[in-house]
Amino acid sequence: MGKLKCKSDNEDLRNARILENQARLESLGIHKTLSDLRSLTSSSPKCERRKWTKRVYETAFLRRSDRLKRISSVESSTQYSNNLSLRRSNRLKEISTEPVKAVGNKPPRLFL
């Protein structure tokens, strides 16, 4: 969409208000104070940002919990048998081929 060649009444009103506001600022002396403040803030040294560098995690030690350290040391140790499990119950450690008693009309199941 292109610009209209003739100015509307709203634009004229807006420009008139801008001029009035600038005259008020000058009469109050705020324009000078404002320019002084801008010069102070613009002259302050800007802090430079550090350039981003990719971290190499291969050389750093990974943070692991003590619980995981204990588990890995138990698994890697040769003094424990291969059947060592972290389960508290012995019920599921043994493999049973005996059928479980049927309940109701269900057929017996075998656990392998």
Give domain status of residue 23, yes or no: yes
3-state secondary structure 54-103: CCCCCCCCCCCCHHHHHHHHHHHCCCCCCCCCCCCCCCCCCCCCCCCCCC
User: What pLDDT was estimated at residue 31?
Assistant: 72
User: What pLDDT was estimated at residue 25?
Assistant: 83
Nearest Cα residue to 19 out of 36, 27, 8: 27
Give domain status of residue 30, yes or no: yes
Give domain status of residue 61, yes or no: no
User: What pLDDT was estimated at residue 97?
Assistant: 56
Give domain status of residue 54, yes or no: no
User: What pLDDT was estimated at residue 79?
Assistant: 46
Tell me how far apart the alpha carbons of residues 33 and 44 are, in angstroms, rounded to a whole number. 17
Helix H or strand E segment including 14 = helix 9-28
Tell me how far apart the alpha carbons of residues 4 and 7 are, in angstroms, rounded to a whole number. 7
Domain that holds residue 32: 12-39
Q: What is the pLDDT along the chain (112 residues), one digit of tens a residue?
A: 456 666 688 999 999 999 999 899 888 887 777 778 877 776 656 678 888 888 777 766 667 777 777 766 655 554 445 545 555 666 666 655 555 555 566 666 666 5
User: What pLDDT was estimated at residue 17?
Assistant: 96
Give domain status of residue 69, yes or no: no
Give domain status of residue 35, yes or no: yes
Token digits of residue 92 = 């599921």
